[in-house]
Amino acid sequence: MSNPDNLRNRAKALQLHGLLAHWDEVAGAPWLAALIDWEEQERTRRSLERRLQDAHIGRFKALCDFDWNWPKVCDRAAVEALMTLDFLKDASNGVVIGPNGVGKTMIIQNIVHQALLAGHTALFTTAGRLLGDLAALDSDSALRRRLNHYAKPTVLAIDEVGYLSYSNRHADLMFELISRRYRSKSTLVTTNRSFSEWKEVFPNAACVVSLIDRLTHYAEIIAIEGESYRVKEARERNEQRARQRRGRKP
């Protein structure tokens, strides 16, 4: 039988004020524990649904389906360590570096999804979308509000740093955001460029060194080397279609 004090504390946490006002009348009711269980479960479900929607994580392949033997270099233990979410405890970051198609995006999408399942808030975006959004704002007040929007989630995942080049203003905005999150919230980044090449991503920007310094000071840096996994899958699909076509010939 459930402890009455424990049930009342759970009802308080759920802010079931009407139920609490009549607590003495219902405290011994056999349906009370089930009612509180249902309310907790439904709120947990709705919270996850809302956070998943707000995270904009998109469709992704589960990490259990990833072919770890395909990349020439990939620290599987480091990826699995990030999946435990221990890095959130001290607001550490994660940076995944590698060429196109080796699974960088898929890895951080899985980490973001794991964080959401654990009850955290998260947001997934690309560098182009993020910086375009911030740079389009004219007023200081609107910019501060939008920076707060990106600074707020427990986990912010920024995909595809390095695929485009950006102006000094974009660099300053990225630096401002990373600085706001530094040592308080965790940031995940994927990039196809080594850090020595980030000056080409943000040409002539004075803050690049400081940006990298804050991002990597407390970070797990994972380098992946290999051919594109997407090209591999496309080749396999084409080979399968060719076999099917040959099998249909009379």
Report the C-alpha gap between 143 and 171 in whole angstroms. 15
Q: Which of 69-73, 153-157, 240-244 has the highest mean pLDDT?
A: 153-157
* Domain range list for the chain: 4-54, 63-231
Decide if 164 contacts 197 (C-beta within 8 A).
no
Task: Using alpha carbons only, give the angle 39, 40, 44 rounded to the nearest 5 degrees.
Answer: 115
Closest by CA to 194, choosing from 164, 223, 229, is 223
pLDDT of residue 250: 60
Residue 4 pLDDT class (50, 70, 90 cuts): confident
pTM for the structure as a whole: 0.85
pLDDT of residue 94: 98
Cα separation values, 53 from 41, 108, 185, Å: 18, 17, 20
Q: Which architecture characterizes domain 63-231 according to CATH?
A: 3-Layer(aba) Sandwich (3.40)
Q: What is the pLDDT of residues 24-48, one digit of tens each?
A: 999 889 999 999 999 989 988 898 8
Decide if 215 contacts 232 (C-beta within 8 A).
no
Q: Which residue has the tokens 């009850």?
A: 119
Largest distance between two CA atoms of the chain: 81
Report the C-alpha gap between 117 and 51 in whole angstroms. 9
